Amino acid sequence: MMALFDTLVYNPIYNVLIFLYNTVPGHDFGIAIILTTLVLKFILLPLSKQQIESQKKMQELQPKIKALQHKYKTDKEKQTRAVMEFYKENKVNPLAGCLPLIVQLTFLIAIYRVLINISQSGLQVQGENLYAFITNPGQIHHLFLSIVDLTHPNYVFAVLAAAAQYYQTKIMIARQPKTAPKDDNDAPDFATIMTKQMLIIGPMLTLFIGFTFPAGLSLYWLVSTLFMIAQQEYILKTAQPVKE
């Protein structure tokens, strides 16, 4: 399984990063990381679009789903049938956003491994991981814009990445539709609870990673999050609302 992961995901990302590093004037590793991040995001754009649109549709239908759950709250079997029928009528698959998310997490793990492995090797490119047509630059210059050392944690990048993560989650919560007040007997909305928890957990985790790992990873995370914020805003503005 790991060999397949390396062949299909890890090695292509590794080679794209080194190719861009060779191509960028001045051989700036930070710019190469930014360009690699953008390349990955554009490749994953169709999947990201599918995930965001599916999430938006589920959010718009949530009040009606909650109404069905309230209507049949004393009969879980009828409640499940009613909700599933509602999904079918509205052509909604509640699991539609899972596959894009899994693919994106796979690429996140790959770029994490690439950056960590390069850093741990003393920024020495491993020739065995390169394709025949990719030139081995040998030792990679570790400064971004001749200022930031990418081999050590950078608190500025860490804070900026965490702030971007917080903002992305915040606007996602703000876009959730307002539901009617729940009765005391209603079960809590698990999805809403998890989203609100991620408002704190996500940025804190990002901050921890930024304070612990080389700055190259924080730079990737920051650029990736900013891209996702812009992408999310564009897709949500252009997506068609669910018909009543």
Q: How far apart are CA 196 and CA 188, in angstroms?
A: 13
For residue 62, the 8-state DSSP code is H
Quote the pTM value. 0.79
Mean pLDDT of 166-181: 70
User: 114-166: per-residue pLDDT in tens?
Assistant: 888 888 888 889 888 899 999 999 889 888 998 998 888 999 999 999 999 89
Does residue 37 contact residue 223 with C-beta atoms inside 8 Å?
yes
Q: How far apart are CA 214 and CA 241, in angstroms?
A: 42
Does residue 216 contact residue 154 with C-beta atoms inside 8 Å?
no
Give how far the C-alpha of residue 149 lies from the chain's centroid of Cα atoms, to the nearest Å. Answer: 25
Distance spanning both ends of the chain, measured CA to CA: 46
Q: How far apart are CA 100 and CA 115, in angstroms?
A: 23
User: 104-127: per-residue pLDDT in tens?
Assistant: 788 888 888 888 888 888 888 988
For residue 134, the 8-state DSSP code is S
Residue among 221, 8, 14 nearest 137 (CA)? 14
pLDDT of residue 194: 62
Amino acid at 108: L
241: Cβ contacts below 8 Å, ≥ 6 apart: 60
Q: How far apart are CA 149 and CA 34, in angstroms?
A: 15
